[in-house]
Amino acid sequence: MTNTTSTGAAGEHHGAEVEAAIAGIRVTAPATLLLRTLLATGLADAYATMDSPAGPVFVAWNTRGVSMIARAGNPGAFEEQFEREIGRRLERVQALPSRLGRAVARRLAGDRSVLIAVDLRGRSPFEEAVLRKALEIPSGEVRPYGWIAAEIGRPNAVRAVGTALGRNPIPLLIPCHRVVRSDGHIGEYSMGGPDVKRRVLTAEGLDLERMEGLARRGVRFVGSDTTRIFCMPTCRHARRIMPKHQVTFGSLAEIARANYRPCHVCRPVAAAA
């Protein structure tokens, strides 16, 4: 007859030894493990400071993309703003990941070939459409609010476009600084006001003196008497027109009478919305 009692006791003893051995090799999880896990799932964000044409900025990100940029100031105030507007946990770290840091720096320097994911969760479909359209404006050029409204199929929503850009969580990368008033004047800027906006646009190579001079004269469009194509004044094609061939217009009605065609790059008809 088999002694089941002694066998069970031996098994229990062996199990206790295994548990003791496992307990002996336990290690404390790294303090960054929770943050890395939350970042990987998009449930938390990290942020660090970097330089920009607007001065030092805080850049927040997670694995879905960059989620917020603001002028560097009080870290606690930025964290409170992030929690209030974005609603996720935010942790400060020493620096952006090297690859992301290089990509952001290149993009801020005007390199449109660099693709950087952005996390726009929480924005309405209208707000997201406005912000993604602003991404299409090239460095060194500007477009009026009405251009964005018309391009997204909401030509009567110019004021709402301005509100959406004013709530842009990722300025500089989403270049709301490249959106100006319909009369060509520079307008406001949520990340520090007109002076910062002027500094960023100048760093991108925009000739503000020329742009504002044209605006004061009521010029909204520039055409070439050789191609008979008209553009918005800061369009790269407009800047190539030799002075002797340059023609200026204040309205689409003038252009219609002159029988000029719109530039297919800057799409100036939308600017008249």
Tell me 259's DSSP state. Answer: T
**Structure-token pair, residue 85:** 């507007």
What distances in angstroms separate CA 95 from CA 7, 89, 99, 173, one per listed residue?
Answer: 59, 18, 11, 18
Among 52, 91, 88, 86, residue whose Cα is nearest residue 72 = 52
What's the alpha-carbon Rg for the chain, to the nearest Å? 28
Are 240 and 227 a contacting pair, CB within 8 Å? no
Q: Report the SS3 class of residue 50.
A: strand
Could you give the dihedral angle defined by the CA atoms of residues 147, 191, 202 and 187, in that order, rounded to the nearest 10 degrees? 50
User: In the annotation, is 235 catalytic?
Assistant: no
Rounded distance, CA 102 to CA 107, Å?
9
Could you give the dihedral angle defined by the CA atoms of residues 105, 106, 109 and 110, in that order, rounded to the nearest 10 degrees? -140
Position 148, amino acid: I
Residues annotated as catalytic (active site), given as ranges: 176
